Amino acid sequence: MFLNMPALNYQEQQEAVNKIHKLMTDGMKTGEAITYVAKEIRNKYKDKEQIYVLFEDHD
């Protein structure tokens, strides 16, 4: 599966992790928090540099 992923620097990555932890502390489920922050990041960086990642499923 190919996904367009924003190229985040270390500080941006840490901010995303902190936001996910905050949402979870406030009662949001882990998957929902990750999805929420990922969507927010994609929207914020949609017109900026993207990296292409290949995730291979090994069954």
Q: pLDDT tens digits, residue range 5-18? A: 667 789 989 999 99
* The length of the chain, given as a count of residues: 59
**Confidence at residue 2, expressed as pLDDT on a 0 to 100 scale:** 43
How far is it, in rounded angstroms, from Cα 25 to Cα 39? Answer: 19
How far is it, in rounded angstroms, from Cα 31 to Cα 49? Answer: 25
Q: pLDDT tens digits, residue range 28-43? A: 999 999 999 988 988 8
The pLDDT-based confidence of 3 (bands split at 50, 70, 90) is: low
**Confidence at residue 59, expressed as pLDDT on a 0 to 100 scale:** 61
